Amino acid sequence: MEWENSRESTNVEDQRGSSGGGGLGIPIGGGTGGLGIGVILILALIGYFTGIDPRILIGGAQILVGNGAGNTSSYSAPAPAPTPTAMQPQQSAQNDLMRHFVAVILGQTEDVWSQVLPAQKGVAYTAPKLVLYSGSTRSGCGTAQSAMGPFYCPNDKKVYLDMAFFNDMRDKYGGGGDFAYAYVIAHEIGHHVQDLLGILDKADAAKQNMSRTQANAVSVRIELMADCLAGVWAANADQKWHILDPGDVEKAMATASAIGDDRLQTAAKGYAVPDSFTHGSSALRQQWLTTGLKSGQVDSCNTFAQ
């Protein structure tokens, strides 16, 4: 992927190594995204009997409570990134390069969507912030933890990313490569585009009167649309800067396949339960990313019309 000659975004908030996480950072009772003490105790007991770190269960539950739309993109847990004070010089240099990469890709999304969204949908684009953190931090949707993977929080209009997830893409999911990493960032920005178009609010409202299975189906359509919007960004960015090299699309497709619900569930449990899917199957994730890449048009991403 050709990305080095583009500008960096100024909308990156680097919280790595800060004390913003503040332990668990769980508000007790009341307030948006807060969990009652009873829920926390139950989750702690589940963690005790299953061997799962209770902080992961609590953090994940709080994200769900704080963001009822279910539009966060979460994956399997990557290994926590070392804090800057614990990094070796080589690790620090690698993280500086990856931070530069993230800032450039974010800048490209800003430049593309500030043109495409008004031109295609008559909606002005306001750029979100992207928060880099290690381990955990606070978000407008509750505690952000690396175990949740990258996600977009509509409450504070920010994308949260622990860059250790990129290591997981390479080592666990068989993905990796610059364009595959850019696809992940562009997917989260796709949720921000959905937010600007009012789609997340409509989806959230619709879920209030649905069963869990029906609500999951809405979440899948939201996630597949974000995949398609990532493709729309890539198509327009390639037209503008010629960013794509041979093999880039194939690597992104491999990543889309690797993080499909069916692949993840089968790897974890030996079988898949389609009614519980929240992000879409491998085939559908590839299909909708391809749709966006081929069309470059927002209207091609209407997953609710299918």
**Residue 4: inside a domain:** no
Give SS3 for 289: helix
**Residue 3: inside a domain:** no
The closest of 1, 7, 11 to 161, measured between CA atoms, is: 11
**Residue 1: inside a domain:** no
Q: Is the four-CA dihedral 106, 197, 221, 250 of positive or negative sign?
A: negative
For the segment 158-174, what is each residue's pLDDT rounded down to a tens digit? 999 999 988 888 887 66
**Residue 6: inside a domain:** no
Containing domain of residue 268, as a range?
12-305
**Residue 194: inside a domain:** yes
**Residue 30: inside a domain:** yes
Number of domains into which the chain is organized: 1
For the segment 40-69, what is each residue's pLDDT rounded down to a tens digit? 444 444 444 444 544 444 444 444 434 444
Phi then psi for residue 138, to 5 deg, are -90, 145
Q: Specify the pTM.
A: 0.76
Cα–Cα distance measured from residue 42 to residue 54, given in angstroms and rounded to the nearest whole number: 10
**Residue 193: inside a domain:** yes
% of the chain exceeding 70 in pLDDT? 73
